[in-house]
Chain A
């Protein structure tokens, strides 16, 4: 059952495994136990909620974490006032949201952003206004290839590479067909990276593009099949990926190909939705820790949501990412000179100075640095869809694509590897 009012039931299986977290007291910021009462520090966040889907779980988690911080001493006694706007998947609304938060309300930073739209529209605004956006749910190139955006999630490119690498190394894949959305800064950008990776490993790759609103996924699947691939990568939102799998099931293609996917299929609803036919036959890259992994941050994330979030706030990967962005942001503020907390430039410098932050929710260290591109999260885990959930088949591993060479150079300069 997945009724809005009964959301807790929807996650019963996953939450059942992690019930212990509900009993833990949340730990946030300075952790003083005293409510912050000083002048507020204004922070913004933008999410998308509209026809293609609801991407508010990252800002929901960030809001819960900030509420927890405010109940625990804030930033030197000052609470964080978190202003959140919905861009409704509309570029005009996204630009208006950023103008309101950045220009009018004078936010010192953007945190927890989750959108398909706003990053493309506002990336230059963030540069022009000298503000950093610590995003959490990013799916387009602007999130990872512009100076003032950094995300805790990996996005489709890195997650695709993680999935393709596992398939190439462990499942014998030599020719990967990437089915993606026909959007230049999403599907084409991220599928091309897979083709480049496979070529670099002596294999081949191709892409079959799907229009986001197209009802017919069969043609894209047939195109992938006609490419001669041995592996099919479903670089799609979960709903569309399920449609591809259903079309493949109609053709009984399960055993003729290796089926892999980036993070969107890492959703607790997926094992039931795909059905028994696919159990044990789909490998999914998880860009953050499995939801039931139970480490200190994994438990604290759930405890924060239980204590300061809403009952129907999703407990998913984007929620983990929103929690992490908020946590790293708060840590940076606590470490900076309190006199600069209202100075956007000082806060931006503090964020760019982040390096070596770690969490059990991420496989590698988080950093920002002063670069024209940011991809701190480029290691993940691989899971397999099984009855009732997911099974980890490869714990944390680094992606070895040449795409990350420039990132590794930055990390080397920062002393991180």
Chain B
């Protein structure tokens, strides 16, 4: 670990301890522990969404805002299949399948058309795709109270006084497992190497003979699978409302930014920290009204901290 990295972690630890003392100090841990466990649960969902975004960004240079909408379409499909009496595992597979199909459709047929455009243009195009999916989903399924149950909801353990279901533990474990799995995939496989090469220099990679479309399609496929799984988790753990699931990408972006769109481990730590801080803010009568902006304030502070000492000019970085 470099000296700079060590300073970063020390500052992080000091800040988290300070926030804990400020918001939760003086209250019994029996109460604050429940908010801690609740925050870790929601934070793992932020991290899960952020990890999916960073994986695709690292592999294709596209910041995919449509992951939430694809997940929402998948979750609504799973619910519909459940209503039709389809065997539950098949309905869950349907969720992942729909998200995968939507994401692959975009990645295979639309994303290449924008391959040479600026990163911002590519990101905004995915936002347009998200709104199209959301419009279609809202048209097919009218606004109505719904819920999506999973068998893991019935199993749980008590953590810091809060009962945590196996579904929440699954989301948490998946976030860690995916970080490790993707890290190994990108770092130790040929496809992973090719993905990193394409993300860094698409044109040079093409000259070197890397099958660009194939590599990018695989990246979009991984993103689609993650979007489907995340959509299923959001639908169960947050609520089965397409708009809410679609716009869960917003705090997920904050988690991705905390990892500077690069480090999956930092996305995980950032997402969990955002969830905990947002939850602890409930304990402050003054600040509980600003809870929804907490992830963005944290992301902005992380970016400012990571940019310290860097001067920006019209020509780029000095």
**Shortest Cβ distance from B171 into chain A, in angstroms?**
13
Q: Are the C-beta atoms of B282 and A223 separated by less than 8 Å?
A: yes
Q: Which listed residue, B145, B153, B278, touches A267 by the CB 8 Å rule?
A: B145
Give the residue name and chain of the A residue nearest to B139 (CB): A4
Residues on B with beta carbons closer than 8 Å to the beta carbon of A274: 147
Q: Are the C-beta atoms of A240 and B239 separated by less than 8 Å?
A: yes
Give A215-263 interface residues, CB cut-off 8 Å to B: 215-220, 222-223, 226, 238-243, 246, 249-252
Residues on A with beta carbons closer than 8 Å to the beta carbon of B165: 250
Q: Does B309 contact A (CB under 8 A)?
A: no
**Shortest Cβ distance from A292 into chain B, in angstroms?**
18
Q: Are the C-beta atoms of B141 and A243 separated by less than 8 Å?
A: no
Q: Does B18 contact A (CB under 8 A)?
A: no
Q: Are the C-beta atoms of A215 and B45 separated by less than 8 Å?
A: yes
Residues on B with beta carbons closer than 8 Å to the beta carbon of A218: 38, 41-42, 279
Task: Provide the B240-264 mask, 1 if CB < 8 A to any CB of A, else 0.
Answer: 1101100110010000000000000
Q: Are the C-beta atoms of B84 and A4 separated by less than 8 Å?
A: no
Residue of A211, A250, A252 with most partner-chain B CB within 10 A: A250
Residue of B156, B248, B292 with most partner-chain A CB within 10 A: B292
Q: Are the C-beta atoms of B289 and A209 separated by less than 8 Å?
A: yes
Q: Are the C-beta atoms of B142 and A54 separated by less than 8 Å?
A: yes
Residues on B with beta carbons closer than 8 Å to the beta carbon of A226: 31
Chain A residue total in the interface (Cβ 8 A): 42
Give the residue name and chain of the B residue nearest to A221 (CB): B38
Q: Are the C-beta atoms of B38 and A222 separated by less than 8 Å?
A: yes
Residue of B143, B145, B292 with most partner-chain A CB within 10 A: B145
Known: A209-B288, A251-B163. A216 touches B279 (CB 8 A): yes
Residues on A with beta carbons closer than 8 Å to the beta carbon of B146: 2, 239, 242, 269, 273
Q: Does A214 contact B (CB under 8 A)?
A: yes
Q: Does A182 contact B (CB under 8 A)?
A: yes
How long is the Cα–Cα vector from A249 to B163 in the complex, in angstroms? 10
Q: Are the C-beta atoms of A3 and B141 separated by less than 8 Å?
A: yes
Give B208-226 interface residues, CB cut-off 8 Å to A: none
Give B134-157 interface residues, CB cut-off 8 Å to A: 139-147, 149, 153, 156
Q: Which listed residue, A4, A51, A209, touches B141 by the CB 8 Å rule?
A: A4
Q: Are the C-beta atoms of A219 and B243 separated by less than 8 Å?
A: no
How long is the Cα–Cα vector from A214 to B289 in the complex, in angstroms? 10
How long is the Cα–Cα vector from A273 to B144 in the complex, in angstroms? 10
Q: Does A53 contact B (CB under 8 A)?
A: yes
Q: Does A270 contact B (CB under 8 A)?
A: yes
Q: Does A7 contact B (CB under 8 A)?
A: yes
**Shortest Cβ distance from A282 into chain B, in angstroms?**
12
Q: Does B34 contact A (CB under 8 A)?
A: yes
Q: Which listed residue, A10, A211, A215, A251, touches B42 by the CB 8 Å rule?
A: A215
Q: Does A1 contact B (CB under 8 A)?
A: yes
Chain B residue total in the interface (Cβ 8 A): 45
Give B32-46 interface residues, CB cut-off 8 Å to A: 34-35, 38-39, 41-42, 45
Q: Does B80 contact A (CB under 8 A)?
A: yes
Task: Provide the B10-37 mask, 1 if CB < 8 A to any CB of A, else 0.
Answer: 0000000000000000000001001100
How long is the Cα–Cα vector from A402 to B239 in the complex, in angstroms? 37
Q: Are the C-beta atoms of A216 and B145 separated by less than 8 Å?
A: no
**Shortest Cβ distance from B138 into chain A, in angstroms?**
8
Q: Does B269 contact A (CB under 8 A)?
A: no
Residues on A with beta carbons closer than 8 Å to the beta carbon of B145: 238-239, 241-242, 267, 269-270, 273
Q: Does B291 contact A (CB under 8 A)?
A: yes
Residues on A with beta carbons closer than 8 Å to the beta carbon of B279: 216, 218-219
Q: Are the C-beta atoms of B292 and A2 separated by less than 8 Å?
A: no
Q: Does B310 contact A (CB under 8 A)?
A: no
Give A31-68 interface residues, CB cut-off 8 Å to B: 51-54
Known: A209-B289, A219-B279, A251-B162. A239 touches B38 (CB 8 A): no
Q: Does A213 contact B (CB under 8 A)?
A: yes
How long is the Cα–Cα vector from A381 to B149 in the complex, in angstroms? 31
How long is the Cα–Cα vector from A220 to B147 in the complex, in angstroms? 19
Q: Does A203 contact B (CB under 8 A)?
A: no
Q: Which listed residue, A2, A4, A239, A269, touches B241 by the CB 8 Å rule?
A: A239
**Shortest Cβ distance from B262 into chain A, in angstroms?**
25
How long is the Cα–Cα vector from A117 to B291 in the complex, in angstroms? 23
**Shortest Cβ distance from B230 into chain A, in angstroms?**
12
Task: Provide the A292-318 mask, 1 if CB < 8 A to any CB of B, else 0.
Answer: 000000000000000000001000000
Q: Are the C-beta atoms of B289 and A211 separated by less than 8 Å?
A: yes
Residue of B34, B140, B162, B278 with most partner-chain A CB within 10 A: B34
Give the residue name and chain of the A residue nearest to B165 (CB): A250
**Shortest Cβ distance from B309 into chain A, in angstroms?**
35
Give the residue name and chain of the B residue nearest to A225 (CB): B34
Residues on A with beta carbons closer than 8 Å to the beta carbon of B141: 2-4
Give the residue name and chain of the B residue nearest to A314 (CB): B142
How long is the Cα–Cα vector from A138 to B102 in the complex, in angstroms? 38
Residues on A with beta carbons closer than 8 Å to the beta carbon of B251: 215
Q: Are the C-beta atoms of A219 and B38 separated by less than 8 Å?
A: yes
How long is the Cα–Cα vector from A275 to B251 in the complex, in angstroms? 30
Task: Provide the A351-373 mask, 1 if CB < 8 A to any CB of B, else 0.
Answer: 00000000000000000000000
How long is the Cα–Cα vector from A275 to B83 in the complex, in angstroms? 13
Give the residue name and chain of the B residue nearest to A267 (CB): B145
In the A-B complex, list the 7 residue pairs whose CB atoms are closest, starting with the nearest.
A219-B282, A238-B145, A243-B239, A218-B38, A53-B143, A216-B42, A273-B145
Contacts from B to A (Cβ < 8 Å): 31, 34-35, 38-39, 41-42, 45, 80, 83-84, 139-147, 149, 153, 156, 162-165, 234, 238-241, 243-244, 247-248, 251, 275, 278-279, 282, 288-289, 291-292
> Beyond A239-B145, A275-B149: 16 further Cβ-contacts under 8 Å?
A2-B142, A3-B140, A4-B141, A211-B289, A211-B291, A214-B292, A215-B238, A216-B278, A218-B38, A219-B39, A222-B162, A239-B146, A243-B238, A249-B153, A250-B153, A251-B163
Instruction: Identify 29 residue pairs between A and B in the complex whose beta-carbon atoms are under 8 Å apart, listed by A's number.
Output: A1-B80, A2-B142, A10-B144, A51-B243, A54-B143, A209-B288, A209-B289, A215-B42, A215-B248, A215-B251, A216-B42, A216-B279, A218-B41, A218-B42, A219-B35, A219-B279, A226-B31, A239-B146, A239-B239, A239-B240, A240-B239, A242-B146, A242-B239, A243-B239, A250-B164, A251-B162, A251-B163, A267-B144, A273-B145
